[in-house]
A and B are shown apart, each in its own frame.
Chain A
Amino acid sequence: MTLKVVVVGAGVVGAACAFHAASAGMDVTVVDRGPAGAGTTSRGEGNVLLSDKAPGPELDLARLSRRLWDEAGEELGPQSFELEPKGGLVVACGTEDLAALREFAARQEAAGVRVEPVDHVRDIEPHLAPGVPGGVRYPQDAQVQPVLAATALLRAAVRYGARFRTGAVVGAVTGGDGRITGVRTAAGDVLPADAVVNAAGTWGGEVGRRLGAPVEVLPRRGFVLVTEPLPPMVRHKVYSADYVANVASSDAGLETSCVVEGTPGGTILIGASRERVGFDTTMNTAVVARLAAQACRLFPFLGGVHLIRAYRGFRPYCPDHLPVIGPDPRVPGVVHACGHEGAGIGLAPATGALVTAHLLGRPWRGADPAAHTALLPDRFFTSGGAPQ
């Protein structure tokens, strides 16, 4: 019997889940209240990073995902979502920073990440400020255009037989045994399902509640700056070593540590602030100014370059800063795939493969559920299902 799967959310994670599940032969329906890739997916930079991840469960998922992005590129055409294996360059701003960065990189290398210590960073990134004592190059870091990636994955899923429906999911339909049998939409339809994947990103907490399987997913606001188009000036994803500390931080206040990179369109993207302000969409000029100042310190030529756009989005995070991927122990049939924070684009293909493996009950495209147990929702609950 073909497994009927409803994926809630047509962001890059939902699209990747649909792509893998449909290619595994499941009967997939993707449902989203809006168009594909219009939420957090459209508000990021398209980071596919290994460099910012310490050895552990997230890095394990990221390494798998990096390979699956290449495979998706081979299947869908790398141009269809602007896959650029440009590599990352993390620079230290002082000698102490450099020692810490090298030590961090050594641990990453032991976990299987390719790292290349660089002494003369301006040899490979000529417009960097003079006086940077050194850095580490991460050749596996890459970039994709997130909305194109989501739509390309969704289109491929549709070629495998998946359907895409617009509508908000308002609740679950469950059978006598408590197992989910479908979801109800705001329009009053019921989409029958043997399994429902919660890939609602920042809204995953709310969708989980509606499905009777709440998980804590919180928004973290991030601004990204876009410059006027320029000839190629920045070759890698370049960021300063303190970015790593910020990514992992739980501080409530503003944190900025800029990531600077060029795009195929010629613009330069400057991310990434992190603020815990709920779903507040207000423009924060102080954040924009701080990012600009940090970017100018890394690349002095940027001082004369125009900012033409700023955008912001809400990165979904779980309290322990790990995504939640796997079946919910409380409602059989519900599978979570959300809470990726700022790494959702990079981690999307592996998340889709891992969700598919959970649904199949066996490994899929290199994703083995037994190897990623730290991401299961069980970590949030006691055995009786109560929050820990």
Chain B
Amino acid sequence: MSEPADLVVVGAGPAGMAAAVTALAGGLRVVLVDSGPAVGGQFWRHPPEHARVAIPTGDLHHGLREYLALCAALSAGRAAGRLDLRLAHHVWSAVRDDEFAVHAADRREAPRERPVVLRAPRLLVATGAYDRQLPFPGWDLPGVLTIGGLQALLKGGGVAAGSRVALGGTGPFLLPVAAGLAARGIAVVTVCEAADPRAWLRHPGALLRNPGKWAEGAGYAAVLARHRVPVRPRTAITGAEGGERVTSVRIASLTSDGSPRPGTERRVEVDAVGVGWGFAPQLDLLLPFGCELTDSADGNAVVAVDDGQRTTVPGLYAAGEACGVGGAPLAVAEGRLAAESVLADSGAAPALSRKSLVRARATVARQRAFARAMSMAHPVPAAWSSWLTDETVVCRCEEVTAGAVRAACAEGGAHDHRQVKQLTRAGMGWCQGRMCGPAVHCLAAQKRAYVPAERLVATPVTLGALAQLDE
């Protein structure tokens, strides 16, 4: 594609794919950039092309028809010379001068890195979300993974992380992961869901308006029943033990505030653990622009958008989990609406029919309501920090303990994760607080929504590649 692009889309998951396809349909020239080796994001992660027949993953996926249609439309866009698809490109910064400049490290020939600058007058950020982690004693043992990590291993290579697996945390995402493992003959010895399922009864409207979610849930329940996987509500994995790697977990019933109920603790032997407490939206590229944020119901701050997915920065759009975690169907609908706004704001004709547009808007409204109800029904337990001892490592990169974080708050006067970082180095290491940030935030300032630290460098990039940029 030699002519200048009209739009750069960062993130080729459900939201970014749908946005790119809609923008292409409206006649725009689009650059779609993703760090992965293929489009699809985490949700539609697949084995490498050559292994797709050998490793069946069909049962792990939803909306494959949508995925295939989007893939076909993207291929057509490339063939027509209007889509510049940049895979294995890691975006480390996005800035705006006369237009947007998206800085990426091209790692197609890793470990070699080549700096690339992608420019367009409009930018759409669809960078998704990642597992929100809460530390507990033993969470840093080998064999303890995020549930998203377990799912990525299954979807990307048919790999099960263990043969006796315990899952814990909260949220409906526990169920597909448990079902996927069970269907591959893995013993899922327990699924600890911290929430009380009766909490859903407070949001009947959201359930009634989303019958598709019921069907999906019923499907998982059937698989789990067939494999006799016990799903235990109001319980949590409160500790993991082992030497070289995890060999057992402690699980306990929870009181209504999330403290372990005395006398209920027991030990379960495992060789792998998956934990997830919902998701943290990936806002790294958005925060430096100074976009307005809003409080989503799940404890996260997310980027504020209007009903056309416009952020408060002119020319900057967002779709998918960055606007609030809500799943792939919501992300696809938001991607379409965002692209429609890009078309309208560029003076181009709409790509979607009036009917499709109405349908996308209705999907967004319905799925947002569901996501909101879901996060209210699956909160992070208020008393989770009571599971931690002072010796529990909270920041794994810099090996900062819960005791050090607590001391920074009590004696150092820190009341947010940024001050805790300055005093303890929690969040100063390799991951820059992407892992421990939500937990440190909860320990320091429980009441407010979590706003991640501003990261001017969205992903590590070599100084050598940056130096090439200067030439």
Contact = CB atoms under 8 A, between A and B. Distances in A.
A289 B432 contact: no
Contacts of A309: 428, 432, 455-457
Contacts, number: 103
Given A42-B422, A289-B467, A308 B95 contact: no
Given A302-B464, A303-B463, A309-B457, 18 more contacts: A36-B413, A147-B423, A148-B422, A225-B463, A265-B425, A283-B288, A285-B95, A285-B103, A288-B456, A288-B466, A289-B115, A303-B462, A306-B460, A306-B462, A307-B466, A308-B457, A309-B432, A309-B455
Nearest to B428: A265
Contacts of B457: 288, 307-310
A304 interface: yes
Contacts of B460: 228, 306-308
Given A35-B414, A228-B460, A289 B422 contact: no
A292 B463 contact: yes
A292 B470 contact: yes
Interface string B442-468: 000000000000011100111110110
B469 A289 contact: yes
B290 interface: yes
Interface of B: 93, 95-96, 101, 103, 115, 288, 290, 398, 412-415, 418-419, 422-423, 425, 428-430, 432, 455-457, 460-464, 466-467, 469-471
A302 B422 CA distance: 25
B464 A304 contact: yes
A228 B288 CA distance: 21
A191 interface: no
A267 to B, nearest CB: 8
Interface string A243-270: 0000000000000000000000101001
A295 interface: yes
A286 B290 CA distance: 20
Nearest to A281: B290
Given A229-B430, A283-B95, A35 B419 contact: yes
Contacts of A375: none
Interface in A198-240: 225, 227-229
10 contacts: A229-B429, A265-B425, A281-B288, A282-B96, A293-B470, A305-B463, A307-B466, A308-B430, A309-B428, A311-B456
Contacts of A164: 413
A289 B462 contact: no
Contacts of A283: 93, 95, 288, 456
A271 interface: no
Contact of A296 (B412, B413, B456, B464): B464
Given A37-B422, A282-B95, A285-B469, A303 B430 contact: no
Contacts of A304: 462-464
Chain A to chain B: the 9 pairs with minimum beta-carbon distance, closest first: A303-B464, A292-B466, A306-B460, A293-B470, A293-B467, A147-B422, A289-B469, A289-B470, A292-B463
B316 to A, nearest CB: 13
Q: Which of B455, B460, B471: most chain A Cβ within 10 A?
A: B460
A281 to B, nearest CB: 7
A376 to B, nearest CB: 33
Interface of A is mostly: mixed
Q: What is the interface residue range for chain A against chain B?
A: 35 or more
A281 B418 CA distance: 17
Contacts of B469: 285, 289, 292
A285 B458 CA distance: 12
Contacts of B418: 38
A228 B430 contact: yes
Contacts of B101: 285
B432 to A, nearest CB: 6
A38 B422 CA distance: 9
Interface string A25-63: 000000000011110001000000000000000000000
Contacts of B455: 309
Contacts of A286: 470
B463 A295 contact: yes
Nearest to A42: B422
A228 B397 CA distance: 11
Contacts of A308: 430, 432, 457, 460
Contact of B423 (A151, A227, A302): A151
Nearest to A227: B463
A290 interface: yes
Contacts of A274: none
Contact of B467 (A38, A151, A229, A296): A296
Given A37-B422, A147-B423, A285-B93, A312 B467 contact: no
B405 to A, nearest CB: 15
A120 B16 CA distance: 55
Contacts of B423: 147-148, 151
Nearest to A312: B456
Contacts of A35: 413-415, 419
A290 B463 CA distance: 10
Contacts of A225: 463
Given A151-B412, A283-B288, A293-B471, A38 B419 contact: yes
A304 B457 CA distance: 17
Nearest to A306: B460
Contacts of A307: 457, 460-463, 466
A147 B430 CA distance: 20
A380 B290 CA distance: 37
B467 A292 contact: yes
Q: Which of B288, B413, B425: most chain A Cβ within 10 A?
A: B413
Q: Which of B96, B419, B467: most chain A Cβ within 10 A?
A: B467
A227 B464 CA distance: 12
Nearest to A308: B460
A73 to B, nearest CB: 18
Nearest to B398: A265
A265 B427 CA distance: 12
Nearest to B103: A285
B242 to A, nearest CB: 26
Contacts of A42: 422
A302 B414 CA distance: 34
A265 B471 CA distance: 31
A284 to B, nearest CB: 8
Nearest to A145: B422
A282 B287 CA distance: 11
A303 B467 contact: yes
Contacts of A265: 398, 425, 428
A281 B315 CA distance: 19
A173 to B, nearest CB: 27
A56 to B, nearest CB: 33
